[in-house]
Amino acid sequence: MLEIINLNKTFGMGESSIHVLTDFNMTVEQGERVAIVGQSGAGKSTLLQIIGGLDSADSGIINFKNENIFDKKGKELDRYRNREVGFVFQFHYLLDDFTALENVMMPAMIAGEDTAENREYAKSLLARFGLSDREIHFPSQLSGGEQQRTALARALMNRPSMILADEPTGSLDKKNSEEVLSMFDSLKNDGITVLIVTHDDEIAKSCDRIVKMEKA
Ligand SMILES: Nc1ncnc2c1ncn2[C@@H]1O[C@H](COP(=O)(O)OP(=O)(O)O)[C@@H](O)[C@H]1O
Ligand SMILES: [Mg+2]
């Protein structure tokens, strides 16, 4: 489903430039769960941003469902970002002034689809992650683990085929990490492809495969 071919990414110019990705290659099957590990600065976040269509590359190809995402522009690129990919970050980036349910609904609202059906789906996602009684709570009223579970529910709202998670448990204690991890485990049943950047051996071991990135 995902085929990355000779991806190159440099930040800066001239002598001070940093080559973050050098002819990077990776293939991921539909429904596969891949852990991406490597020391800080290895380019893990940069890679996820590029795969998610949030950053550009200098050269290379990323075929997603047999289409090079670098050929996508305008509405087509928006569609890819909003419909195919769901992002979960280390810090949840929930919107403080919106309830948990509204935050989960946000991707649908942005797509102009604030429908009763989508509202029910958002509620079902919160229920699935044990947050039914938190629908009308604001992010500041939720624990770190609850915030991150809400962020995962939001990432699933538009029924993406791929979740990109950048250190999703990086700011959580052990108990909350385990809870969030079990939510990621449950995605297996949906056939959703998951790329997860992590420093946590437990998470890495729970994945189908581990890709190690080296610092350039
Ligand atoms: N926007 C940017 N501008 C300049 N350098 C950047 C930028 N983003 C990342 N870098 C550099 O690229 C390298 C890889 O960063 P990153 O992808 O965040 O690594 P990781 O997530 O593996 O820790 C680091 O040296 C970082 O400083
Ligand atoms: Mg990073």
pLDDT score for 170? 87
Ligand 1 pocket by C-beta < 6 Å: which residues? 11-12, 18, 20, 38, 40-46
| Under-50 pLDDT residues of the chain | none
User: What are the CA-CA distances from residue 200 to residues 37, 38, 63, 171, 191 (Å)?
Assistant: 9, 11, 28, 11, 23
- Give the H or E element holding residue 67: strand 67-68
pLDDT of residue 89: 87
The whole-number pLDDT of residue 25 equals: 97
Long-range contact set of residues 136-139: C-beta below 8 Å, sequence gap at least 24: 136/99, 136/100, 136/101, 137/99, 137/100, 138/96, 138/97, 138/98, 138/99, 138/100, 139/92, 139/94, 139/95, 139/96, 139/98, 139/100, 139/103
Ligand 1 atom 13 nearest Cα: 41
Number of the ligand closest to the Cα of 49: 1
Domain 28-55+71-212 in CATH 3.40.50.300 = yes
Residues 6 or more apart whose CB falls under 8 angstroms from that of 74 comprise none
Residue 194 has what pLDDT?
95
Q: Which of 16, 20, 39, 55 for mutating ligand 1's site (highest number of atoms within 8 Å of CB)?
A: 20
User: 142 to each of 66, 101, 135, 169, how far by Cα in Å?
Assistant: 40, 12, 10, 16
Q: Which pTM value belongs to this model?
A: 0.93
